[in-house]
Amino acid sequence: MSKAEKTKQFIIEKTAALFNSKGYTRTSLSDISEATGLTKGSIYGNFENRDELAIEVYKFNSGLLGNNLLRSFGDEFPTPVDKLYAFVAFYRKNWHFVFANGGCPIMNAATESDDTFPDLKKQVSISFQNWKKSVSNIIVKGQEEGEFNKGINAQEYSSLFIMLIEGGILLSKTTDDEKYLNLALDRVLNIIDTEIKKNAS
């Protein structure tokens, strides 16, 4: 990377947790300057404005989450059902880290951007679509291999999983009690075992 690219990446990484915890619209230029140790002029020399930086930080935060989730769908887990179990286990094992860094970056940005930050809302929509596609592809693969029921709608179940997990994260983060996320994850596992798997009754 060039010096300018390294500086931009430094700013993004140094402010990633800040934006996610304080908010993409509420994080000020002074906050960014304090987190990076750079002057406001230096920050504006690398980004056109605060909103451009916020978008790049969101891409970085959501990218980290996405890359970690994709590991659940890797070759380490050989069958589609193994991959879905690993997907659930990811949240079970990593909720402490997610919460310590401000919560789920996708949900935080979604609840914050709405109609006030349309460019961020567009990026969040892309993240949700990619997440849904990744999970639904696993379900479709399981159907093709005879492991999952062919009569189920992969996209609908993928969306349901996202709704359950994000709702569990929201309640657990708000109440500082992991039981709500665990309830959501238990429900997802139950759906996998009783509705998705081919041998489900």
What confidence score (pLDDT) does residue 147 get? 95
Q: What is the pLDDT of residues 53-89, one digit of tens each?
A: 999 999 999 888 888 777 777 778 899 999 999 999 9
Residues 6+ apart with CB under 8 A from 192: 81, 84, 85, 88
Judge if pTM exceeds 0.75: yes
* Three-state SS at 176: coil
Q: Is the pLDDT of residue 201 over 60?
A: no
Q: What is the pLDDT of residues 18-67, one digit of tens each?
A: 998 888 888 999 999 999 999 989 998 999 898 999 999 999 998 888 88
Encoded tokens for 24: 């993409």
Q: Average model confidence (pLDDT) for the chain?
A: 89
What is the pLDDT confidence band of residue 193, given thresholds at 50, 70 and 90?
very high
Cα dist from 108 to 32, 138, 195, whole Å:
18, 26, 30
Encoded tokens for 129: 């679509």
Farthest-apart Cα atoms in the chain, separation: 64
For domain 55-196, give the fold. Tetracycline Repressor; domain 2 (1.10.357)
What is the pLDDT confidence band of residue 200, given thresholds at 50, 70 and 90?
low
Angle between helices 154-175 and 118-144 (to 10 degrees): 130
Alpha helices in the chain (DSSP H): 3-22, 29-36, 40-46, 50-71, 80-100, 105-113, 118-144, 154-175, 179-191
What confidence score (pLDDT) does residue 2 get? 86
* Three-state SS at 4: helix
Residues 6+ apart with CB under 8 A from 123: 55, 58, 59, 62, 109
* Three-state SS at 105: helix
Q: What is the pLDDT of residues 93-147, one digit of tens each?
A: 877 777 766 778 888 888 877 767 889 999 999 999 999 999 999 999 999 999 9
Q: Are 180 and 168 in contact (CB under 8 A)?
A: yes
Q: What is the pLDDT of residues 151-185, one digit of tens each?
A: 999 999 999 999 999 899 889 888 989 999 999 99
Distance CA 79, CA 60 (A): 29
Radius of gyration of the CA atoms of the chain, in A = 19
